[in-house]
Structure 1
Amino acid sequence: MAQPRISKVKRRKLAIFLRCIVISFFAWLLFAISSIQTYTIKAGISYVNIPEQKAFHPLQSDTVSVRMKMSGWKIFLKKLYPDTPHVQVDLSGLKTKSFIVFTNQLGYINRQFPADNQVVSVSPDTLFFDFSKQTQRKVPVRALYSMQFKKQYGIIGDTKANPDYVTVTGPLEDVANIEYLETDTIRGTAVSSDIRTIAYLNKHQKNNITIYPTFSEITIPVGEITEKVLELPIRVENGGRYTTVRTIPTKVKVTFLVSLKDYNKWTSRDFEAIVDMENWEENKVKTLPVIITKVPNYCQIISIEPQNIDFFVRK
């Protein structure tokens, strides 16, 4: 059966119709991304102008919903690359009251965003605070790092912080639970020399405490490392109930990494290798695993030969 043919006039009308649809779609899309719309985002909050001699507990979450006007194009980008901005809240008003109203700070909040993003409202609109006794405490600084070293290089000594203690001020119940403060993570790749850097201290989202100073100079000693091999005598633990316990062999060979400057510093007296007879008594094993119970700082065990040993027991 012959299929009906579409005339040139109909094909022309169909092409014009499809062209109009495409043009209408792009016109709508251009209008949508250029028009100003209302969009709500989640934002974290931090505090500034904290009243002196006052310690406080926020009585709500540390995130708020910010409703703002922005172009459709920016809304599209926000959805494509979502992020969580931070909003600073001015607490100077807490000198005379125990709450802060966002409506009264919209001008200050709008200055924290680009000029073409207008903040309309924040939810919740009111933040409430509970005041308590303020205290101070000195806590040690702990450096966090995540580094990749150049081949045959590594950390060869203690990490130092200057200052190594900082003063934490805030509510008694919060300050009492802080044993130490960590720095932001120090990162590096192909590291082959000492690291000296300024690292800021991490509050771990405790916005109601202050730290002085807010940073510390961190020094991490880095140097070349190499392999060293030592023979260690094997010590038998929990073998006192037997007349004799003899291990075969009586020594093990330990290979470890050590810095070049400390190569001659460490001897077999600085390590300890043991076998535990309780493992034989409980599990009736035929061989005993060698356990290294003493290793100097910044020495890394690579291998133990043999890892398991035979033994004879005389009761």
Structure 2
Amino acid sequence: MWGMIKLTHEYDVTVRFNIEASDLPKDRILVGNTDSVIAITVRAKGLDYYSRILSAQLKPLYFNLKDLKLKRSGDRYTGYLRTSRNTRVILDQLPSGIEILSIEPDTLHFIFEKGFSKKIAIRPDVSLRFSRQYNLYDSIAVNPDSVLVSGRKEILDTLRFISTEYKSYTGLDKDLTEKLRLINPGFYPPVEFSVDSAEIKLSVEKFTETQVEVPVELISDSPPGSTYKTFPEKLTITCLVAMKDYNRLDPSLFTVVANTEALKESSDRRIPVKVIAAPLFIKVIKIEPDKVEYLIIK
């Protein structure tokens, strides 16, 4: 009985709150505030204090600075806010039945700089493992492929890309679409994004390994009118191709060359071969042989 009476008594209690800005003046970024904590003395019944005030002080109090009047000082801008004139703003964020007796400090000071914006590419941070014979058919599509990042110029100049959250996928055997959260790089003051997530699309197909025989073209500084012959005359290219593209594969889509200039920098009399043209829908695994000999026939 005594405990219940005690909890219904009125108490004057001082609680501390971290403060945060919910909106900023246009084209300005907050780089500092001399007062990041305010102490508020409130009057409440004991039951209200223990059950609600204690939990409320774990959350920050937000102040809208959008219409704050600023004074320029060099490259910076300063502004202040009277807490005594924002009692209603504070009360709206506290539990009901609370009476504010005092607020310290009476004035909150804020420091701003001019904000800059820059469009930066989004890079998906993903790990992909496919089912047997399946693979990525095309590069990962990201939508949007970039994000408008706002913040201090010296911070923006260091950013080359913005990563998504890390995600690991296993056993992939079909197309996949998923939205991933963008990761703020963690600078102070923090940068802001025009969007907070990006959608990735994976195009997955079943692949098969196949071989194509392709003739070798010789690039030589031999006298005009000379004819030549390579040994062997054709090479075997082993490649991966999606099943849906298998019938499109043709030797005429490949160009393989051997340049005799390479002999000037090597004691080996065989010439390395190079694939200079191939279909975009295949992946070359190996070339056999990877070197050829040649004979000039006059």
- How would you bin the TM-score normalised by the shorter chain? 0.5 to 0.7
Number of aligned residue pairs: give it.
Answer: 210
What is the match of residue 172 of structure 1?
Answer: 153
For 1:135-214, list aligned pairs within 5 A.
Answer: 135-207=116-188, 208-214=190-196
Which of 14, 21, 29 lines up with 1:55 in the alignment?
A: 29
Amino acid at match of 1:287: R
Higher helix share: 1
1:186-223 Cα offsets, whole Å, 9 max, x none, are 31111111111111123333452111211011111111
> Offset at 1:132?
3.6
Task: Tell me if 1:257 matches 2:246.
Answer: no
Amino acid at match of 2:129: Q
Task: Tell me if 1:219 matches 2:220.
Answer: no
**C-alpha distance in structure 2 between counterparts of 1:183 and 1:55, whole Å:** 24
Q: Does the C-alpha gap of structure 1 residues 90 and 250 become closer, same or farther in structure 2, counting only changes over 3 Å?
A: farther
> Offset at 1:50?
6.8
* Percent identity of paired positions between Structure 1 and Structure 2: 24
Amino acid at match of 1:51: L
Q: Does the C-alpha gap of structure 1 residues 291 and 91 become closer, same or farther in structure 2, counting only changes over 3 Å?
A: farther
What is the match of residue 291 of structure 1?
Answer: 274
SS in 2 for 1:264: helix
Q: Does the C-alpha gap of structure 1 residues 48 and 296 become closer, same or farther in structure 2, counting only changes over 3 Å?
A: farther
Q: Does the C-alpha gap of structure 1 residues 167 and 90 become closer, same or farther in structure 2, counting only changes over 3 Å?
A: farther
> Offset at 1:156?
0.7
Q: Does the C-alpha gap of structure 1 residues 210 and 234 become closer, same or farther in structure 2, counting only changes over 3 Å?
A: same
Task: Tell me if 1:276 matches 2:276.
Answer: no
SS in 2 for 1:216: strand
Q: Does the C-alpha gap of structure 1 residues 226 and 172 become closer, same or farther in structure 2, counting only changes over 3 Å?
A: same
SS in 2 for 1:279: helix
What is the match of residue 4 of structure 1?
Answer: none
Which of 208, 212, 227 lines up with 1:230 in the alignment?
A: 212
> Offset at 1:93?
10
Question: How large is the Cα RMSD of the aligned pairs?
Answer: 3.4
Larger mean Cα displacement after TM superposition, 180-189 or 278-287: 180-189
Task: Tell me if 1:248 matches 2:231.
Answer: yes
Q: TM-score when scaled to structure 1?
A: 0.56
- Structure 2: state its 5+ residue gaps: 1-19, 33-58, 71-76, 79-109
1:153-211 Cα offsets, whole Å, 9 max, x none, are 00012322222332211123433554443322331111111111111123333452111
**C-alpha distance in structure 1 between counterparts of 2:64 and 2:239, whole Å:** 61
Larger mean Cα displacement after TM superposition, 147-156 or 298-307: 298-307
Amino acid at match of 1:310: E
Q: Does the C-alpha gap of structure 1 residues 262 and 213 become closer, same or farther in structure 2, counting only changes over 3 Å?
A: same
**C-alpha distance in structure 1 between counterparts of 2:146 and 2:283, whole Å:** 29
Amino acid at match of 2:24: P
Higher strand share: 2
